[in-house]
Copies of this chain bind each other. A is one copy, B any other.
Amino acid sequence: MLPLPVLEKAQTELVNYADSGMSVMELSHRSGLFTDIITGAEQLLRDLMNIPDNYKVLFVQGGASQQFAMVPLNLLSNSKKADYVNTGSWSKKAIKEAKKYGEVRVIASSEDKNFSYIPEVTSSMIDPEADYVHITTNNTIEGTAFQNIPDTGGVPLVADMSSNILSEEIDVSKFGLIYAGAQKNIGPAGLTVVIIREDLIGHAPESCPTMLDYKTHSESGSLYNTPPTYGIYMAKLVFEWLKELGGLKEMEKINRKKAELLYGFLGQSAMFQSPVQEDSRSIMNIPFVSPSAELDAAFVKEAKEAGLETLKGHRSVGGMRASIYNAMPVEGVEALVEFMKHFEEKHAQ
């Protein structure tokens, strides 16, 4: 989902951007107009997230899945050991990929309880020799999220923030590297944002594909080859929308309000409940279940008929899931809760 004002602005400018007679899709990535777009997007993101000067912002391609390889390829430069926290499907994919390139240790996991909580991570669990520690801050499918960022001491913390970047204020300086596919809170699919502390750049081995070396993108200002220019333009529009809204402080308030609406209803419902432990709940992805698979199916079907789309849970966990990313207005969650109330009344015995 993208904010409507952003889509409307993109529509207005699509054929003729800034009176250039060209679409953004037609601009050369070396042109002055595109330089303004990419440097503007970077500056807006730096302002929104308060990114310290010793971090680079990179606009790359390939999604989180490509980062699963880029992180170990670039960061396993000393001990070749890394510590991972396993909190769900995406963590598992990251772990599997990293094992190709070094010694991976899972230091905490919530797999024992179907990933329904965030396990505790303390500094004593971390191998001080590890090249990095990896976490997934928000677990899209399981609906969990880290409430506090673990203290990893001198070991760089790497975070997959694909599904909660820009949803709340975070302290970037606690991380060595943050990556996020754009398609949840940033812009259209095909763009990946990497925020990386400068000292972690430049350690990839000779055998690392040039496009998978952070140094390639860092040294060229993300212009080593043609970047996903239109995605970067859309991201800039989203960053501007966030800034006008009041930044991440305000966005977080709205997101917490939306989440509380839904969790509040789930807490008193006789039919629906959250499968996620209370202290581990995401404000972006809220899974819920009814007492039976039949009712789940009826709910998804009737919701769709009522215009409430994509409420089906991921095929790996079943049930329902409301993804209430930044662009979802409070009214959207209110409509969902209203619909759930009616459904519960209608289907009550």
Contacts and interface: CB of A to CB of B under 8 A. Distances in A.
Q: Tell which of A14, A29, A70 has the most Cβ of chain B within 10 Å.
A: A14
A7 B1 contact: no
Nearest to A227: B189
Given A62-B62, A229-B190, A310-B28, A209 B11 contact: no
Copies held by the complex = 2
A342 to B, nearest CB: 21
Contacts of A31: 310
A129 interface: no
Contacts of A66: 61-62, 209, 211
B69 A210 contact: yes
A25 interface: yes
Nearest to A1: B26
Contact of A62 (B29, B189, B211): B211
A14 B14 contact: yes
A225 B64 contact: yes
**Chain A, interface size: which category?**
35 or more
Contacts of A225: 63-65, 181
A289 interface: no
A2 B230 CA distance: 13
29 contacts: A1-B26, A2-B25, A2-B26, A4-B15, A10-B14, A11-B14, A14-B14, A61-B61, A61-B63, A61-B190, A63-B211, A63-B226, A65-B211, A66-B209, A69-B210, A69-B211, A73-B209, A97-B210, A100-B209, A101-B207, A189-B226, A189-B229, A189-B230, A190-B190, A190-B226, A190-B227, A212-B212, A228-B228, A230-B231
Given A101-B207, A190-B229, A228-B228, 17 more contacts: A1-B22, A1-B26, A7-B14, A7-B25, A11-B15, A14-B14, A22-B309, A25-B188, A25-B234, A62-B66, A65-B224, A69-B209, A181-B225, A189-B228, A190-B190, A190-B191, A209-B209
